[in-house]
Amino acid sequence: MKRVLVFLVIIASFLFVPSASATVLYNATVSGTDVLVDATIELYTSEPGNKVNYWQTELSLPEKSKIISLADSQGVINDYTYANSLLMITTNKGAAREKEVLDLVFRIPSVVTTEFPPLSSMKLNFSGFADVNPEKPDEQTFVEIRTPIRLVFADASYGFVTQSTEKIAQFSGSGAVGVTVWFGSGGTEYEHYLVFGNGDAAAADADFSLLETTLGIRLPGVKYPVIALSEENYNRKVNPWSVGQYRNGILFIRENQSTTPTGTATLLHETVHAVNGRLLRFVPGGVAWFDEGVAQYVEFLEKQKLGVHQAQLFGEKVTWAAGNLVYTLAPRGKPNELWSYYQLNEDIMNKWTPETPATRTFGYALSELVIRESVLRNGPMILTNLYTSLPEGEMSSAVATTYLLSKLNTDLRPCDADTIDAMKSCLAAVNAMAAPLPGDTPETIDSGSIVLPDITPPEIDLSFLETLVEWFRQAGDWLRGLFEIA
Question: Where is 72: in which H helix or E strand?
Answer: strand 66-72
Q: From residue 391, how far is each of 220, 410, 457 by CA, in Å? A: 20, 18, 39
Q: How far apart are CA 357 and CA 342, in angstroms?
A: 21
Q: What is the DSSP letter of 78?
A: -
In a domain, 485, yes or no: no
Instruction: List, in order, residues 6 or more apart from 114 with CB less than 8 Å away.
Output: 33, 120
Cα–Cα dist 247/263, whole Å: 17
Contact between 66 and 106 (Cβ < 8 Å): yes
Give the percent of the chain with pLDDT over 90.
Answer: 73
**Are 41 and 24 in contact, with CB atoms under 8 Å apart?**
yes
Q: What's the pLDDT at 12?
A: 35
pLDDT at 97: 86
Residues 175 and 197 reside in one and the same domain: no
What's the pTM?
0.87
Q: In the structure, what pLDDT confidence band is assigned to residue 13 with cuts at 50, 70 and 90?
A: very low
- Residue 113 Cα distances to 34, 307, 448, angstroms: 10, 41, 29
Supply the pLDDT for residue 457.
78
**Is residue 164 included in any domain, yes or no?**
yes
486 is a domain residue: no
pLDDT digits (tens, 9 = 90+) for 61-76: 999 999 999 999 999 9
Q: What total of structural domains would you count in the chain?
A: 2
CATH no. for residue 22?
2.60.40
221 and 152 belong to one structural domain: no
To the nearest whole number, what is the mean pLDDT of the chain? 89
Q: What is the pLDDT of residues 22-36, one digit of tens each?
A: 689 999 999 999 999
Average pLDDT over residues 167-193: 95
Do residues 66 and 149 share a domain?
Answer: yes
- Position 8 scores a pLDDT of 33
Residues 283 and 427 in one domain: yes
Would you call 471 helix, strand, or coil by DSSP?
helix
Strands 86-90 and 168-173: unpaired
Share of the chain above pLDDT 70, in %: 88
pLDDT of residue 462: 52
pLDDT at 10 over 60: no
Q: In this predicted model, what pLDDT tens digit does every residue of 274-330 receive, in sequence order?
A: 999 999 999 998 999 999 999 999 999 999 999 999 999 999 999 999 889 999 999
Q: Of 246, 248, 247, 266, whose CA–CA distance to 256 is shortest?
A: 266
Are 92 and 72 in contact, with CB atoms under 8 Å apart? yes
The verdict on 283 and 134 lying in the same domain is no
So what's the pLDDT on residue 484?
58
Per-residue model confidence (pLDDT) at position 3:
42
| pLDDT of 446 above 80 | no
- Closest of 240, 249, 81 to residue 179, by C-alpha: 249
Distances (CA, A) of 87 to 62, 351, 475: 11, 38, 36
What gap in Å lies between CA 44 and CA 98, rounded to an integer? 6
> Do 182 and 279 fall within a single domain?
no
Residues 295 and 438 placed together within one structural domain of the fold: yes
Q: What pLDDT does residue 106 have?
A: 98
Which comes out higher in pLDDT, residue 130 or 369?
369
Q: Which residues are CB-neighbours of 307 under 8 A, at least 6 positions away? A: 261
> Is 173 in the same domain as 299?
no
What pLDDT is attached to residue 11?
34
| Mean pLDDT on 244-263 | 96
Distance CA 218, CA 445 (A): 6
- Residue 473 in this model has a pLDDT that exceeds 80: no
Using alpha carbons only, what angle is made at residue 231 by residues 228 and 236, rounded to the nearest 5 degrees? Answer: 95
Q: Cα separation of 279 and 53, whole Å? A: 45
Are residues 268 and 377 located together in one domain of the fold? yes
Closest by Cα among 294, 272, 310, 273 to 371? 294
What is the residue range of 235's domain?
188-444
Same domain for 192 and 179?
no
Nearest C-alpha neighbor of 296 from the set 284, 310, 279: 310
Predicted pLDDT of residue 447: 72
Contact by Cβ (8 Å): 166, 149: no
pLDDT reported for residue 139: 64
- CATH of residue 273's domain is 1.10.390
- Residue 428 to residues 227, 252, 421, 485, Cα–Cα distance (Å): 37, 33, 10, 108
Tens-place pLDDT, residues 92-145: 998 888 889 999 999 999 999 999 999 999 999 999 876 555 555 556 899 999
The tally of CA atoms less than 13 A away on the side-chain side of residue 484 is 6
Residues 151 and 168: beta-carbon distance below 8 Å: yes
Nearest to 338 by CA among 348, 329, 328, 330: 348
- DSSP letter at 442? P
- Output the pLDDT for position 203: 97
**Whether residues 379 and 269 fall in one domain:** yes
> Tens digits of per-residue pLDDT, 319-361?
999 889 999 999 999 999 999 999 999 999 999 999 999 999 9
Least confident residue range of 139-143, 242-246, 271-275, 423-427:
139-143
pLDDT of 1 > 50? The answer is no
> pLDDT band at residue 393, thresholds of 50, 70 and 90?
confident
Do 257 and 115 sit in the same domain of this protein?
no
pLDDT band at 472 (very low <50, low <70, confident <90, very high): low
209 pLDDT above the threshold of 70: yes
Q: What is the 3-state secondary structure (H, E, C) of 81-110?
A: EEECCEEEEECCCCCCECEEEEEEEEEECC
Q: Is residue 464 part of a domain?
A: yes
CA distance 268 to 244: 10
Give the pLDDT of residue 136.
56
Cα–Cα separations (whole angstroms), residue 56 to 20, 38, 122? 10, 20, 31
